[in-house]
Structure 1
Amino acid sequence: MDYHSQIETEAARLAALAGDLSVPVPTCPGWTLAELVTHVGQTHRWAAHVLRNRVQERIWSRQVPSGLAEGQSGDAGWLRAGAAELVKVLRETDPSMEVWTWGPERRASWWPRRMLFELVVHRADAELALGADPEIPAGTAIDGVEEFLHNLPSAAWVTKSLAALGAEGATIHLHASDADGEWTITQGPAGTISWARGHAKGGAAVRGPVSDLLLLLYGRRSPAALTVHGDAALLERWLSAAAF
């Protein structure tokens, strides 16, 4: 998958939505489009900094210069500039280079996929805020579901919440209604998860368009908008704990 080109496309789509930055973003409580754009643009600059400087230890995005004055929010032009710089750095970086990530592998190849889905989900946030229905191509959404599941066990802030569920052994099945995509998630001990592709029964099962399944995992779609079978309460609890 050409993540670099997709990042360019998604960044342009988000920038095109960044007109009235005072619009509230309901899927990111407390944010307006100004905060959303600033967050995404800062994330791009953070990733570019990590790769350009071959960072080996955790660094927070707020530690990376944004080019904004204190208290200033980003706008569409600032967002585009950061995305262009990120793509340039990604294209110039050896994917096998060892570098810090918060995911399960410490390679530069982890970053393009993560940055794409950071953009896809926040572009959907902006569209929902403006009353539009997000459209995500099925192939991209399938990859997004698997990127989410791949990284979830490494998201310590999420596994802590999952551990508190007391749901070890519980299973959740996701079934795309418009694409060849099925996954079963199994809750393990101490908040860990495992997952597998393919058809299976789960304690809770949810079926719908794969783009909606992706947005469901990120807390941007309610299970009520899809078809749910089995333990709906478990599904609600798990999704609430797992979203990041």
Structure 2
Amino acid sequence: MTRALPTHPDPGDSPAGRSAPVDRLALLARAQAAFADVASTADPEAPVPGCGEWRVADVVLHLARVHWWAAGMAVGVVLRTENPDRPRDAESLDRIYRWAARHLHATLAETGPDSPALTLDGRGVAAYWWRRQLHETLIHLDDVATAAGTPAPTFATEVWADTVDEVVSVLGPARQARGAAALITSPVEIVATDTGDRWVVGDGDAGATVRGTSRDVALLLWNRIDLSSPGLEVSGDPSAVDALLEAGLTS
């Protein structure tokens, strides 16, 4: 899996890359606050399109657990727990999520971006979780906003482009390495029309291209929208795009 153009480098790649974790930590705090606010207005038992049989309560409990687990990974500790299914009342859900969000943010701020950490692809630095949890929260923010029937808070196009980049260059390869995602044998080019960023997923020349805003492309890769979305355009071999979306690059 390769990227056609380098965008949003990770810490240490360049002077610009070293400033990225600071921005991502601030963006994470903003996304967490927005998630908590939107989730608190939704019916806990409202269905969440794009998340199978999950309800809003399940998404809130899941993200709270992931924040807690990621805080452990950021300091080199593997905390094992299953997704809880209780409590499910709005007040308790709000309290649990806000606690987990504060715990994660405080842990990441205290450890700093360059501290040794466990990551999904082995050992790395804590800045990995600044990025991973930002995009995890951003996707689930869109989930609960959709369930609540309210527009999701707006984030810059560059943030959504970074969501795409994380799938293509970090999350997807990590899932492929452990056998959770299929290798891409028919390369696909992805173009974010609002930022000009371009990626090629798979090795070799792309036989198909998907174009759309960075947000639409990110939601497509995360299986929140499909190719029928009016904001997306596909050219070339459609079976290559179908294979990409069915490969399991995201959970």
TM over 0.5: yes
Cα deviation for residue 128 of structure 1 reads 1.9
Give the whole-Å Cα distance in 1 for the aligned partners of 2:115 and 2:29.
22
Specify the alignment match of 2:165 in structure 1. 146
Q: 1:5 to 1:94 in 2, by over 3 A?
A: closer
Query: Aligned with 2:46: secondary structure?
Result: coil
Cα deviation for residue 113 of structure 1 reads 0.5
Q: 2:225 aligns with which of 221, 226, 233?
A: 221
Give the whole-Å Cα distance in 1 for the aligned partners of 2:203 and 2:95.
43
Query: Aligned with 2:118: secondary structure?
Result: coil
Query: Aligned with 2:196: secondary structure?
Result: coil
In structure 1, what residue type is equivalent to 2:241? Answer: L
Give the whole-Å Cα distance in 2 for the aligned partners of 1:187 and 1:221.
25
In structure 1, what residue type is equivalent to 2:250? Answer: A
- Residue 7, structure 1, aligned to residue 28, structure 2: yes
In structure 2, what residue type is equivalent to 1:13? Answer: A
In structure 1, what residue type is equivalent to 2:193? Answer: S
- Residue 46, structure 1, aligned to residue 79, structure 2: no
Q: 1:141 to 1:97 in 2, by over 3 A?
A: same
- Residue 102, structure 1, aligned to residue 123, structure 2: no
Is contact 1:175–1:181 with CA below 8 Å preserved after alignment?
Answer: yes
Specify the alignment match of 1:89 in structure 2. 107
Q: 2:156 aligns with which of 137, 141, 154?
A: 137
Give the whole-Å Cα distance in 2 for the aligned partners of 1:117 and 1:91.
17
Q: Name the stretch that deviates more: 148-157 or 84-93.
A: 148-157
Specify the alignment match of 2:4 in structure 1. none
Question: Per chain length, whose mean CA-contact separation is higher, i.e. which structure has more relative contact order (CA < 8 Å, sep 6+)?
Answer: 2
How many equivalent residue pairs?
220
Q: Deviations over 1:139-180 (max 9, x none)?
A: 1011111111122111148855414xxx52x11011112112
Query: Aligned with 1:175: secondary structure?
Result: strand
Is contact 1:117–1:144 with CA below 8 Å preserved after alignment?
Answer: yes
Is contact 1:137–1:211 with CA below 8 Å preserved after alignment?
Answer: no
Identical pairs, percent: 27
- Residue 31, structure 1, aligned to residue 54, structure 2: yes
- Residue 203, structure 1, aligned to residue 207, structure 2: yes
Give the whole-Å Cα distance in 1 for the aligned partners of 2:80 and 2:127.
19
Is contact 1:41–1:82 with CA below 8 Å preserved after alignment?
Answer: yes
- Residue 239, structure 1, aligned to residue 242, structure 2: no
Specify the alignment match of 2:96 in structure 1. 78
Q: 1:94 to 1:4 in 2, by over 3 A?
A: closer
Q: 1:175 aligns with which of 191, 200, 214?
A: 191
Q: Name the stretch that deviates more: 92-101 or 24-33.
A: 92-101
Q: 1:160 to 1:84 in 2, by over 3 A?
A: closer
Q: Deviations over 1:68-106 (max 9, x none)?
A: 8x8424612221111111111101103222221113652
Q: Name the stretch that deviates more: 7-16 or 178-187.
A: 178-187
Cα deviation for residue 116 of structure 1 reads 0.3
Unaligned runs of 5+ in 1: 189-200
Specify the alignment match of 1:192 in structure 2. none
